[in-house]
Amino acid sequence: MNLPTSVTLVEMGPRDGLQNESASISLATKLRLIDDLAAAGLSVIESGSFVNPKWIPQMADSAEVFRGLQRRAGVRYTALTPNLQGLERALDAGADEVAVFAAASEAFSRKNINCGIAESLQRFEPVMARAEAAGVRVRGYVSCVLGCPYEGEIAPQNVLEVARALLGLGCHEVSLGDTIGTGTAGSTQRLLDALLPQIPAQQLALHCHDTYGQALANILVGLQNGIATVDASVAGLGGCPYARGATGNVATEDVVYMLNGMGIHTGIDLDALVSAGARISEALGRRNGSRAANALLASAG
């Protein structure tokens, strides 16, 4: 087995998590969440999204979020940027790293970013050039890698093509999004069988939504294949506005609990993370979506 000795967790709660909440969330609540996560040891925190605010109103104040951050040393505060306009806004607000997002499904691409896959890749070209000139790294996402709400099954070959295109454009890493959480240990292995001969595991991350409760199993398959970057969302916050019924990313607490049990280093203080998840769940009036956090909170009385 090819298990990594340490894993980087990329925290999605403030972006993928909060983007899907319908209640309005104060700037102070967002800033508190991000700082709690940084204090717990998360070193990469996706803190906002510079998309069309008419599409995702919850992220409309991302510039204020970035300007209000109490930056902690060693933490990268990152943002989604779908186009040049978004990138300029992100640079202006001080994002440390940005991300472009494509899909392996044509239909999902059109719903999510209002253009097809090929056009989206063209749209990213000036984004990459401008980011490089500004000295800012770009992550790439591929959505629907293990299934699409509109097209159903997605061929691994489609994922490979989009992932290679993103790396070819200059993305330092590609995060594989199981947007609707339909993937299983079997389909995750088949996907990685198609990708890993062409793309080194170090350039891949897993981004599992936990809709079908398969995320930890899929992440374990990723780890066994040498993937050492995992996206997760504290308290399992979130969903996807363009994938009805999809739940949030796998809870960060659950991933840390699993990795601790495997002796894999994350640099994260699980107790502090559980407190962060409890605080944001309470602020949102939402049930905590982390099984490990609920168990730890119950056992602490």
- As annotated, the active-site residues are 240
Q: What are phi and psi of 114, to 5 degrees?
A: 65, 25
In 3D, which of 233, 288, 208, 174 has the Cα closest to residue 15?
233
CB 125 to ligand HMG: min, Å: 15
Closer to ligand HMG by Cβ: residue 4 or 239: 239
Closer to Mg ion by Cβ: residue 4 or 177: 177
Look up tokens 């709660």; give the residue.
Answer: 13
How many Cα atoms occupy the beta-carbon half-sphere of 217 within 13 Å?
14
Candidates 11, 16, 61, 253; binder of Mg ion (CB under 5 A) is 16
CB 145 to ligand HMG: min, Å: 8
Closer to ligand HMG by Cβ: residue 248 or 277: 248
Closer to ligand HMG by Cβ: residue 158 or 294: 158
Helices (H) and strands (E) in the chain, counts: 11, 8
Q: Which residues lie near ligand HMG (CB under 6 A)?
A: 16, 19, 49-53, 55-56, 80, 82-83, 85-86, 89, 101, 112-114, 141, 143, 177, 179, 207, 209, 240
CB 253 to Mg ion: min, Å: 18
The interface partner of residue 139, options being ligand HMG, Mg ion, none and the CB cut-off 5 to 8 Å by kind, is none
Cα 143 to Cα 103: distance, rounded to the nearest angstrom: 4
Cα 71 to Cα 286: distance, rounded to the nearest angstrom: 27
Our finding on whether 11 is near Mg ion (CB under 5 A) is no
CB 2 to Mg ion: min, Å: 26
The interface partner of residue 82, options being ligand HMG, Mg ion, none and the CB cut-off 5 to 8 Å by kind, is ligand HMG
Q: Where are the alpha helices (DSSP H) in the chain?
A: 27-39, 62-68, 84-93, 106-113, 117-133, 156-169, 185-195, 215-224, 252-261, 270-284, 291-299
CB 296 to ligand HMG: min, Å: 26
The interface partner of residue 229, options being ligand HMG, Mg ion, none and the CB cut-off 5 to 8 Å by kind, is none
Q: Are 212 and 178 in contact (CB under 8 A)?
A: no
Mark the segment that binds Mg ion (CB under 5 A) among 13-21, 73-81, 110-118, 131-139.
13-21
CA distances in angstroms from 124 to 46, 86, 139, 140, 204, listed in the order given: 19, 11, 11, 10, 19
The interface partner of residue 143, options being ligand HMG, Mg ion, none and the CB cut-off 5 to 8 Å by kind, is ligand HMG
In 3D, which of 298, 225, 286, 222 has the Cα closest to residue 258?
222
Closer to Mg ion by Cβ: residue 77 or 108: 108
**Residues within the interface to Mg ion (CB under 5 A):** 16
